[in-house]
Chains A and B, each alone.
Chain A
């Protein structure tokens, strides 16, 4: 026990650079000497990425995910298991899974012939994924065979899966209305899930109908990790697995800057004035083949937007692409794409937030908030009246009144003298 911990800790230190991945499998049914082709494929994928990979059975006594309160794996794949039993409940429990999901990508694989350990089913339900029970499988009587043919029409998110062409034999899941859930594969309109292929379906022997059922779904966590569930291990091909463990369509905000348009040297000021011209710039990278590459927005739907908010957005602006750049100063590697917007701060003082909230299905989220104070014009910053052409008429009027008044006073004195003279006469 102590030695395993020590080993885990040491390996944590030595392999801090390489990602660590764990595959939890059914040690009762699967003999690692002759692994099934699907397991081989998963292991190969991890190895090709240079990950350090560990295989553990659900019942293994050295199943270790947490050391001193820290999750020690970056990716964990849970393969189907014929037995619900878990020996090390202090390692594999729901609370631990929730904690692990904050820093690690989790992949859950279903199988229509197997049930899930209670921990895993509870965790999936908490994420809003409700897989069908043991024995239920996806059925479509419009199909020629027992299996259901999956085509392009089943793809729910084209960013994750570009093509699919397979005969599906597996589970389905219905989803909660969690807005962070991304359907990857959706069942066809004529399909349903049942454990009874012959009798008419009713509430007792059915799980989901038509496009209510999903065959692969992912929860994009706010922390940037992914929780993916697939209804059959056939679906866990390279494209999907790479996405699920965050190797594809992962975004990174390299830098965020804002400054007054005429003072580029004064970066990220916390104080601006109403009607200032401000430039907001960000650099976004995308993970491609293990390296950060510039992330280029390809269509209007993907456009990055800046909100300038004080409770409500006063401005909501599309960021304009500027070009590729390097995220590290002095480096010549162009690894990020720069987006920028130049706008006028509204005529409203108060505490405002530069908010970048980028959530697109299939991409990791970008969330960035910077609070700045917007002050009003100082007393001596208003224009003088003589600078405003409109005011010239009023200024001239006021001057005219004084001149006329002066002549009036002089004349008045003079006239009164004449008056007195008349009286004297």
Chain B
């Protein structure tokens, strides 16, 4: 039949998009090690909590602004640090970094401690 050839370009694009997404997702799941899985779960938690705080500040108002900043920044900061950790733990990136994964995990703990120390002071 000639009809499938004349199918709408938009449907075609959508189908391609869907297949691209599926491929990406499968690849992502395949590439998951237990460590990266754990990291991603943690990241998802941080994003959810940050979004919740943002909605809260929009609804309730920003009166204790330092408290909002403290809570929000602790999420964002922890997110950034964890993403860094994930980058350094990716086997494909080992050649990019001079440090060993163990060293980067130590850095991560140290940086997180400093972050939370500052956040608690700031939140007052």
Contact = CB atoms under 8 A, between A and B. Distances in A.
A412 B105 contact: yes
A416 interface: yes
A314 interface: no
Contacts of A151: none
A397 B109 contact: no
Interface stretch (A157-165, A213-221, A255-263, A402-410): A402-410
A400 B72 CA distance: 12
DSSP majority for the B interface? helix
A401 B63 contact: no
A388 interface: yes
A394 B123 contact: yes
Instruction: Report, as a range, how many residues of chain A touch the other chain.
Output: 20 to 34
A385 B67 contact: yes
Nearest to A413: B105
A388 B70 CA distance: 15
A401 B75 contact: yes
Contact of B75 (A385, A393, A397, A412): A397
Given A394-B64, A397-B49, A405 B116 contact: yes
A30 interface: no
Contact of A400 (B34, B49, B70): B49
A143 B68 CA distance: 82
A419 B105 CA distance: 15
B60 A416 contact: no
A412 B38 contact: yes
Given A401-B74, A405-B112, A419-B33, A411 B66 contact: no
Given A395-B71, A416-B35, A419-B33, A384 B78 contact: no
Contacts of B124: 382, 384-385
B71 A398 contact: yes
A418 B46 CA distance: 25
B120 interface: yes
A177 interface: no
A387 to B, nearest CB: 9
B56 interface: yes
B38 A401 contact: no
Contacts of B63: 388, 390
A407 to B, nearest CB: 9
B45 interface: yes
Nearest to B66: A385
A382 B78 CA distance: 28
B42 interface: yes
A366 to B, nearest CB: 42
Contacts of A393: 53, 56, 71
A395 B123 contact: yes
A333 interface: no
Most chain B beta-carbon neighbours within 10 Å: one of A390, A401, A408: A401
B71 A394 contact: yes
Contacts of B64: 385, 388, 390-391, 394
Instruction: Report, as a range, how many residues of chain B touch the other chain.
Output: 20 to 34
A398 B45 contact: no
A398 B68 contact: no
A415 interface: yes
Contacts of B35: 412, 415-416, 419
Contacts of B119: 398
A22 B1 CA distance: 129
A415 B36 CA distance: 10
Contacts of A400: 49
Contact of A401 (B34, B67, B78): B78
Interface in B103-124: 105, 109, 112, 116, 119-120, 123-124
Contacts of B72: 394
Interface in B50-95: 52-53, 56, 60-61, 63-64, 66-68, 70-72, 74-75, 78, 82
B74 A391 contact: no
Nearest to A393: B56
12 contacts: A385-B70, A385-B123, A385-B124, A390-B64, A393-B56, A394-B123, A398-B120, A405-B78, A408-B38, A408-B39, A412-B39, A412-B105
Interface of B: 33-35, 38-39, 42, 45-46, 49, 52-53, 56, 60-61, 63-64, 66-68, 70-72, 74-75, 78, 82, 105, 109, 112, 116, 119-120, 123-124
Given A388-B67, A401-B74, 18 more contacts: A382-B124, A384-B124, A385-B124, A388-B63, A390-B64, A391-B67, A393-B53, A393-B56, A394-B123, A398-B70, A398-B116, A404-B42, A404-B45, A405-B42, A405-B112, A415-B34, A415-B35, A416-B35
Closest 7 CB pairs of A and B: A394-B71, A391-B67, A391-B64, A394-B67, A397-B71, A415-B34, A385-B67
